């Protein structure tokens, strides 16, 4: 087997050259988790594959989720048993087989506020949830707690906010890193991956779609990527690709905005996450390293798709609802980070976005073109399988069935053994075992590659300045192996420095820029441009979060152009790129 694939400027350039010269079986539009999943599914069936993404891997929805791998209790309440069952099967696969280094169990407490009937009602749902999760348990079964036991688990709760509780388990993931691992695994098996590669049109042979025209946002110019089948996995940009097909399409995607807050772990005294009912949905308080994630909202969004903005009204909504149950209320001063994302919901009859379907659809509006949309992060692999099944019929050859349920992601093979050897690994690398544990849960067995950098360059064993959770070696590795092309890619998606530090990564920006510059071929001027873009982005986000509504928040956020269209005069214009 070939060595684990690197994603970096050199491999990107090579991929673009090969895309231009070859005719591939499948070209995938979109580098979110669904697009990356499609690429992996197709290439592991023996197909030749190219994936193009306008910005960075997971730069849209797939880096801005609640970071949960779950069946969805609210879908169970809506009696969508099939969706929940499918998602729970995928949860077990991810935990046990595909990426145990990236996905791990997480407990949640569901406070009960009514005596008698509510415990029976919720408890029955939890029994069904556990049953659908399968006989071979990837997570513990639920348990009933008295109010006293619940308050011991979550001392931060107001005693009058509950009469008892039920605790259950789901799983969580760093969504951006997981998406990157899916894409990198696809590259490992031979897929061509190019980010900063924006689709500007569809190639035609008569009525048939024969590939895509791509604008290289880094080097300039454009190439034609010819393909026997084209799969649109652009998420909330699905309608844009349908427009390129002459408006012919059968899907209507309705973006729904969800925002999340990060607060330090010591602001909420608890040993478990929380799930709370709201008027229209649910609210999660999710453990996240040294922080809690509080989310989410669920509102229509019809403004800029590339950079959805969180308004002060969104932030107040979350604080108001979580503070109803906390002894010590959270304030805006407690917030370390804020992020906003868009769910690509399939439009339906309901006027309420929180009630739209989370199921997915696969359609083929034109010969040679297939679109996949909807769904939820947890079921990305099923969406990818169904999309490749749909295009297989048009390839005039026998295509094997999907095997991605048996293909672990890079970093998974041998992970339990390496985790058990973490103390010895720490001694050999000369770093604290806690650092090794941190690396193992981010890289799995590829931790050895990060530690190889440390052995070659001992100065990389130091923490990043202003973000001491991360080692300097991780910033270098993000550029040399993980496909980061810009400072924002490292601070926002390869790491979570942009939301985990009080200054939103401003101090770390200069340090990280210097670390990645040699890998990315940056001169002094480019370093300064990248830092300037990041500073402008942080300022724009902070300004947007002071605005009262979506329109003013969106206007403020657009004050900082996307680095891929505004930086280094690549396009000579500042509108955000489209996936």
pLDDT digits 0-9 by tens, 356-384: 445 888 988 899 999 999 989 999 999 99
The mean pLDDT of 406-413, rounded to a whole number, is: 98
Write down the H helix ranges in 78-157.
81-93, 117-132, 147-153
Measured in degrees and rounded to the nearest 5, phi and psi for residue 30 equal: 115, 125
Beta bridge partners of 205: 208
Is pLDDT above 80 for 532?
Answer: yes
At residue 579 the predicted structure's pLDDT band, cuts being 50, 70 and 90, is very low
Of residues 569 and 139, the one with the higher pLDDT is 139
Is pLDDT above 60 for 351?
Answer: no
What is the per-residue pLDDT across 485-525, written as a single tens digit (0 to 9) for each? 999 999 999 999 999 999 999 999 999 999 999 999 999 99
Is pLDDT above 60 for 578?
Answer: no
What is the per-residue pLDDT across 280-310, written as a single tens digit (0 to 9) for each? 778 999 999 999 999 999 999 999 999 999 9
At residue 247, the pLDDT reads: 67
CA dist 432 and 505 (Å) reads 24
Which value, to the nearest 10 degrees, does the dihedral of the CA atoms of residues 324, 326, 327, 333 take? -100
Q: Look up tokens 């079921």; give the residue.
A: 379
Lowest-pLDDT range, 8-12, 56-60, 295-299, 462-466? 295-299
Identify the CA nearest to 294 among candidates 328, 327, 330, 269: 330
Lowest-pLDDT range, 10-19, 72-81, 198-207? 72-81
Helix, strand, coil percentages in the chain from 3-state DSSP, rounded to 5: 45, 25, 35
The mean pLDDT of 211-227, rounded to a whole number, is: 96
CA dist 93 and 265 (Å) reads 29
Is pLDDT above 70 for 350?
Answer: no
At residue 356, the pLDDT reads: 41
Is pLDDT above 70 for 536?
Answer: yes
The reported pTM is 0.95
At residue 391 the predicted structure's pLDDT band, cuts being 50, 70 and 90, is very high
Identify the CA nearest to 71 among candidates 282, 379, 283, 293: 379
Exposure string for 153-177, b = 16+ CB within 10 A, e = fewer = bbebbeeebbbbbbbbbbbbbbbbb
Q: Look up tokens 């619940």; give the residue.
A: 150
CB count within 10 Å of CB 243 equals 12
Tokens of 206: 């008569």
Identify the CA nearest to 193 among candidates 61, 358, 377, 9: 9
Note the residue count of the chain: 579
Whether 57 and 179 have beta carbons less than 8 Å apart is answered as: yes
At residue 569 the predicted structure's pLDDT band, cuts being 50, 70 and 90, is very low
Q: How many CA atoms lie within 13 A of 35 on its CB side?
A: 33
CA dist 88 and 110 (Å) reads 19
The mean pLDDT of 255-277, rounded to a whole number, is: 96
CA dist 207 and 368 (Å) reads 9
**CA dist 385 to 53, 187, 358, 397, Å?**
20, 17, 17, 17
At residue 417 the predicted structure's pLDDT band, cuts being 50, 70 and 90, is very high
At residue 137 the predicted structure's pLDDT band, cuts being 50, 70 and 90, is confident
CA 445 to chain centre: 21
Answer whether the bond into residue 296 is a cis peptide, omega within 30°: yes
Count Cβ atoms within 10 A of the Cβ of residue 461 and give its class: 0-12 exposed, 13-18 middle, 19 or more buried: middle
Whether 276 and 325 have beta carbons less than 8 Å apart is answered as: yes
CA dist 381 and 352 (Å) reads 27
At residue 248, the pLDDT reads: 58
At residue 573, the pLDDT reads: 28
Tokens of 433: 């075992």
3-state secondary structure 270-289: CCCEEEEECCCCEEEEEEEC
The mean pLDDT of 205-209, rounded to a whole number, is: 94
% the chain with pLDDT above 70: 94
CA dist 525 and 333 (Å) reads 35
CA dist 339 and 35 (Å) reads 22
Beta bridge partners of 361: 373
Q: Look up tokens 């590259």; give the residue.
A: 187
At residue 305, the pLDDT reads: 93
Beta bridge partners of 256: 300, 343
At residue 572, the pLDDT reads: 28
Is pLDDT above 50 for 576?
Answer: no
At residue 253 the predicted structure's pLDDT band, cuts being 50, 70 and 90, is confident
């Amino acid at each position: 087997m070939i060595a684990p694939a690197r994603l970096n400027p050199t491999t990107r350039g090579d991929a673009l050259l090969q895309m231009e010269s070859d005719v591939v079986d499948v070209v995938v539009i979109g580098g979110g988790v669904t697009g990356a999943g499609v690429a992996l599914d197709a290439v592991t069936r023996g197909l030749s594959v190219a994936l193009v993404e306008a910005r960075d891997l997971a730069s849209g929805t797939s880096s801005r989720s609640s970071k949960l791998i779950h069946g969805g209790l609210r879908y169970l309440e809506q009696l969508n048993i099939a969706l929940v069952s499918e998602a729970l099967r995928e949860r077990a696969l991810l935990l046990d087989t595909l990426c145990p280094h990236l996905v791990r169990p997480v407990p949640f407490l569901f406070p009960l506020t009514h005596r008698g009937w509510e415990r029976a009602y919720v408890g029955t749902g939890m029994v069904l949830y556990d049953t659908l999760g399968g006989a071979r348990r990837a997570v513990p079964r639920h348990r009933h707690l008295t109010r006293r036991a619940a308050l011991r688990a979550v001392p931060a709760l107001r005693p009058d906010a509950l009469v008892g509780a039920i605790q259950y388990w789901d799983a969580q993931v760093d969504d951006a890193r997981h998406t990157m691992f899916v894409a990198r695994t696809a590259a490992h098996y031979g897929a061509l991956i190019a980010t900063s590669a924006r689709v500007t049109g569809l190639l035609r042979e008569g009525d048939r779609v024969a590939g895509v025209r791509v604008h290289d946002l880094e080097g300039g110019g454009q190439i034609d990527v010819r393909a026997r089948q084209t799969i649109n996995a652009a998420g909330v940009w699905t309608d844009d690709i349908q427009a390129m097909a002459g408006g012919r399409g059968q899907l209507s995607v309705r973006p729904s905005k969800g925002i999340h807050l990060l607060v330090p772990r010591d602001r909420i005294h608890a040993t478990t996450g929380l799930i709370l009912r709201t008027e229209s949905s649910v609210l999660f308080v999710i453990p996240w390293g040294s922080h809690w994630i509080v989310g989410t909202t669920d509102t229509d969004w019809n403004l800029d798709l590339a950079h959805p903005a969180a308004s002060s009204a969104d932030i107040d909504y979350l604080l108001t609802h979580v503070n109803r149950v906390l002894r010590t209320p959270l304030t805006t001063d407690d917030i370390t980070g804020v992020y906003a994302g868009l769910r690509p919901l399939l439009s339906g009859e309901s006027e309420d976005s929180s009630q739209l379907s989370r199921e997915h659809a696969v359609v083929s509006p034109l010969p040679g073109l297939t679109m996949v949309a909807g769904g939820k992060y947890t079921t990305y692999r099923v969406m990818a399988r169904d999309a490749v099944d749909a295009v297989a019929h048009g390839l005039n050859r026998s295509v094997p069935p999907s095997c991605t349920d048996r293909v672990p992601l890079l970093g998974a093979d041998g992970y339990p053994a390496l985790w058990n050897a973490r103390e010895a690994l720490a001694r050999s690398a000369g770093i604290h075992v806690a650092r090794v544990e941190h690396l193992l849960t981010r890289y799995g067995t590829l931790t050895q590659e990060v530690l190889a950098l440390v052995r070659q360059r001992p100065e990389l064993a130091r923490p990043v300045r202003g973000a001491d959770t991360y080692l300097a070696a991780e910033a270098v590795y993000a550029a040399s192996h993980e496909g980061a092309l810009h400072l924002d890619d490292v601070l926002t998606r390869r790491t979570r420095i942009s939301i985990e530090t009080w200054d939103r990564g401003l101090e770390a920006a200069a340090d990280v820029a210097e670390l990645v510059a040699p890998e990315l071929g940056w001169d002094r001027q480019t370093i300064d441009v990248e830092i300037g873009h990041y500073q402008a982005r942080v300022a724009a986000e902070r300004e947007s979060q002071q605005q009262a509504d979506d329109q003013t928040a969106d206007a403020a956020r657009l004050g900082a152009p996307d680095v891929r269209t505004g930086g280094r005069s690549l396009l000579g214009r500042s509108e955000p790129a489209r996936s």
